[in-house]
Amino acid sequence: MSITGNWSYPTAIKFGVGRISELAGACKDLGINRPLLVTDKGLANLPITERALDILEAEGLGRGLFSDVDPNPSELNLAAGVDAYKEGGHDGVIAFGGGSGLDLGKMVAFHANQTRPIWDFEDVGDWWTRADADVIAPIIAVPTTAGTGSEVGRASIITNSQTHVKKIIFHPKVLPSVVICDPELTVGMPKFITAGTGLDAFAHCVEAYSSPHYHPMSQGIALEGMRLVINNLPRAYADGTDLEARAHMMSAAAMGATAFQKGLGAIHALSHPIGAIFNTHHGTTNAVCMPEVLKFNADVIRDRFNLAAGYLGIDGGFEGFQSFVQDFNDGFNIPRKLSEMGVTVDKMDALVEGAISDPSCGGNPVELTRENLRHLFNALI
């Protein structure tokens, strides 16, 4: 089976094994003559990154690289990236990697020529209109994991290094103009990253499907995204070289991020402050939180998951789905408690305040309060 395609929804996507070879051509199509490839520290010296830089250099586009990107990137990483962009005379960004590299790369392109602090563009009301859209640099996204879906997102998450609060920075033009989805780039992922990123995609689909907001297109995408994860993540986890499974997971990641335009919920409201304070892996944290949040939302989402379960091949309706999720996590050695990831109750007040102020709260099917968020954290830790 050949899994390949050229898609224009939600943006231009070059999908298929070996499509990284089209990176230089994508730059030229966007008028980028001196790209800066932004990735994280762990990827900087790996063969897949070297290959991308070689492709650029061979076409006379240089090999500009910035990799001072933390797992939960902050405004300090962003400032350093903007300095590298300006000092190198770059005219576009290739956001390369998992969620951290993709998010920071998009923000470098967005913020390099703005005059206001990055926090002025938080995803609050119409704050995005404060930005000068004409000076946002062109962006190409190249995911090397299958989870966050940031490659098809119009926002990035940046952690405030002083307050340890994650902020969502939004602008429509942060959506990359071209995405290169090459499943071959994900082959080298360790098992725990394959699992954590894959379950991140699953959480995006589950929460979008659960959200009370009206968006039938996202609802359909979320349902099929769940099916792709259920059928393919165990295969990719068992055999990292299974390119068909890797391809389907890469699709599921992009679908999850497209679907959550409908909304996220308590899983992410809990996960964001946990990651900001304890520096946990985002997708793995989502997975730990998911069973308890499903239980919390049960009365409101039961009917829709009764319908979904049959399509997903799960017996027992909503209760069957709940049971499946815990077993699914267990199959990837996901902890059952946040304490196993180093989360401690002494930060409870900060966790609750971070969760209640997170924009994801608005997409949860049950209204979130400080009281029920504290109950959820206590149940999970």
pLDDT in tens, 309-341: 999 999 999 999 999 999 999 999 999 999 999
Give the pLDDT confidence of 31-77 residue by residue, as tens digits: 999 999 999 999 999 999 999 999 999 999 999 999 999 988 999 99
* Res. 79: pLDDT tops 60: yes
Task: Using the predicted structure, report yes or no on whether residue 28 has a pLDDT greater than 60.
Answer: yes
- Is the pLDDT score of 165 beyond 80? yes
> Residues 300-310: what's their mean pLDDT?
97
Q: Locate CATH 3.40.50.1970 in the chain.
A: 5-185
Residue 324's pLDDT is 98
**Could you read off the pLDDT of 98-115 as tens digits, one per residue?**
999 999 999 999 999 999
With 80 as the cut, is the pLDDT of residue 8 above it? no
pLDDT at 164: 87
Distances (CA, A) of 270 to 165, 237, 277, 293: 12, 26, 11, 10
Nearest CA to 234 out of 345, 315, 101, 333 is that of 333
What is the distance, to the nearest Å, from the Cα of residue 268 to the centroid of all Cα atoms in its chain? 11
User: Alpha-carbon distance 170 to 201, whole Å?
Assistant: 20
Mean pLDDT of 281-303: 97
- Give the predicted TM-score (pTM) of the model: 0.94
Query: Three-state secondary structure along 136-183?
Result: CCCEEEEECCCCCCHHHCCEEEEEECCCCEEEEEECHHHCCCEEEECH
pLDDT at 7 over 90: no
Span 123-137, pLDDT tens digits: 999 999 999 999 999
Mean pLDDT, rounded, of the chain? 96
1: pLDDT strictly greater than 60: no
Between CA 84 and CA 184 the distance in angstroms is: 29
Per residue in 239-289, pLDDT (tens digit) is 999 999 999 999 999 999 999 999 999 999 999 999 999 999 999 999 999
What's the CA gap between 161 and 164, in Å, rounded? Answer: 5
- What are the tens digits of pLDDT across the range 351-367? 999 999 999 999 999 99
Cis previous bond, 10, omega within 30: yes
* Residues 222-229, mean pLDDT to the nearest whole number: 98
CA distance 363 to 228: 23
- Please give the pLDDT value at position 6: 82
Say if CB 14 and CB 179 are below 8 A apart. yes
Q: 98 φ, ψ to 5°?
A: -85, -160
CA-nearest of 274, 294, 297, 278 to 377 is 274
Tell me which residue has tokens 């069957």: 320
Q: Where in the chain is the domain with CATH 1.20.1090.10?
A: 190-380
Pick the CATH number of 190-380 from 2.60.40.2550, 2.30.110.10, 3.40.1400.10, 1.20.1090.10: 1.20.1090.10
pLDDT value for 4: 84
pLDDT at residue number 5: 75
Q: What region, left, alpha or beta, does residue 142 occupy, with left being phi > 0 and alpha being psi -120 to 50 degrees?
A: beta
The CATH classification number of 5-185 equals 3.40.50.1970
**What average pLDDT score do residues 291-318 get?**
97
What backbone phi and psi angles, to 5 degrees, belong to 165? -115, 135
Confidence category of residue 9, pLDDT binned at 50, 70, 90: confident
One-letter amino acid identity for 13? I
2 pLDDT exceeds 80?
no
| pLDDT computed for residue 347 by the predictor | 96
